[in-house]
Amino acid sequence: MKNYFLFDTLIQREKTAPMITAARKLIELLGIDAPSFKGAKADLGSEFMGLDKLKFLEHYAYNLTLAADQKRDILCFEQSSFISHAQTKDMLINDANLKFEIAGRLEKHNLSLNLDVQVASLEQLLLEEMDTEKLTSLVKHPFGNFQAALFFGSNACRARKYRKEELVTRLLDSVQLKCVKHESSHESDGFEVYDASSSLAKKLAAKAMLDMFDNAGDFVLVCDARSFIMFDFYQKELEKISGREIGLSVLSLAELLLLAFGETSKKAIGLDQHKVAISLI
């Protein structure tokens, strides 16, 4: 297996701490060589590309170079950081002018642009590098009695270029989790407009949440830290703005897998830090 850095400086860390706790725990449990990516610049979200494309690329090129110089790939356990790193690498490889510009900017930090690094998602790592049978053998508490509402969000379109969505559903199959059908799986979670209009952001998030609730999801499974923020951290506000109770727990992939693998300590998984209580265990 390759050597990785675990990219854990997620967007708005104070609101995404549970995702980070769970990912670290899962990596430890599976014995993956992926220490925390020290010195990496924190995720900004791909929205930032709309504000200043060159600064966005410089920001992530810094991380790519840092990891490449230490001969480690970057392991992202959620979609926001995965897209930003993968897209930066892709854009720089395919545009010589951009690459030259960003290399010049990095030189000011005494770094020589190095793109000899892979950006992997957690689901890619688990399914493509680990033995599927080993994963299945770890499952102590299958989710056969539950139905999740799987939410990819409107950013998934960009992620699809770099990793297949089916990988997530294959992982869910391994823990016997079924998913409800709903129309919001690729809608906006509202995060991308939060700074411009928090009320519009919450209306968008509430619309998606209510759709998942009305389609009888027992909980929401999110792939992106931004969705986690909107659906867990702001859920009370979504209820206020929509005038309806929601009460849907929100889980990340790492949290779900840890629960399936028999981890019951809410603190160890990070579930004690959720705004919406988890009643699955």
Partner 1 sequence: MECKLALSVFRFDAKTDFLPYYKKHFITIDRSLSVNDLLAKIKTEDGSFDYPKGDLAALKINGKALFSNVSLDGIINSFGNSLTLEPLSTKRATKDMIINTDDFYERFDLLDAYVDGKDRPLFEHYMIYHYASSVLDLHEGFQGDALFAFAYDMIHKHPERKREILEVVANEHTGIFLHVKLCKKIYPCGADVEKKITELKNEVMKLKPYPNTLVEKFSHHIELL
Nearest approach, Cβ of residue 116 and partner 1 (Å): 25
| Options 21-29, 126-134, 155-163, 272-280: segment touching partner 1 (CB under 8 A) | 155-163
Considering only the stretches 21-29, 121-129, 174-182, 183-191, report the one whose residues sit in contact with partner 1 under the rule CB under 8 A. Answer: 183-191
CB of 135 vs partner 1, minimal distance in Å: 29
Q: Does residue 170 interact with partner 1 by CB under 8 A?
A: no
Nearer residue to partner 1 within complex by CB, 190 or 217: 190
> In sequence order, what DSSP letters do the residues of the chain get, joined into one string?
---EEEE---TTHHHHHHHHHHHHHHHHHHT----B-TTPPPP--GGGGGT-HHHHHHHHHHHHHHHHHTT-EEEESSHHHHHHHHHHHHHHHH-HHHHHHHHHHHHTTT--------EEEHHHIIIIIS-HHHHHHH-SS--TT-EEEEE--TTHHHHTTTS-THHHHHHHHHTT-EE---TTTTS--SGGGTTT-HHHHHHHHHHHHHHHHHTT-SEEEESSHHHHIIIIITHHHHHHHHTS----EEEEHHHHHHHHTT---HHHHTGGG-SSPP---
User: At its nearest, how many Å lie between partner 1 and the CB of residue 183?
Assistant: 6
Which residue lies nearer to partner 1 by CB, 90 or 187? 187
Residues 23-62 that bind partner 1 (CB under 8 A): 44, 48-53, 55, 59
157 is a site residue for partner 1 (CB under 8 A): yes
- Among 258, 4, 28, 252, CA closest to 129: 4
Question: One symbol per residue from 85 to 124: x for binding partner 1 (CB under 8 A), - otherwise; what is it?
Answer: ----------------------------------------
Write down the least CB distance from residue 242 to partner 1, Å.
Answer: 11
Cβ atoms of residues 275 and 233 within 8 Å: yes
- Which residues inside 186-225 make contact with partner 1, applying CB under 8 A? 186-188, 190, 192-193, 195-197, 200, 203-204, 207
Among 25-33, 124-132, 151-159, 265-273, which window interacts with partner 1 (CB under 8 A)? 151-159
Asked if residue 189 lies in contact with residue 232, where contact means CB atoms within 8 angstroms, the answer is: no
Q: How many residues bind partner 1 (CB under 8 A)?
A: 28
How near is the Cβ of 188 to partner 1 at its closest, in Å? 4
Q: What tokens appear for 158 in the block?
A: 């960009």
State the minimum distance, in angstroms, from the CB of residue 229 to partner 1: 15
Q: Which stretches of the chain bind partner 1, using CB under 8 A?
A: 44, 48-53, 55, 59, 154-158, 183, 186-188, 190, 192-193, 195-197, 200, 203-204, 207
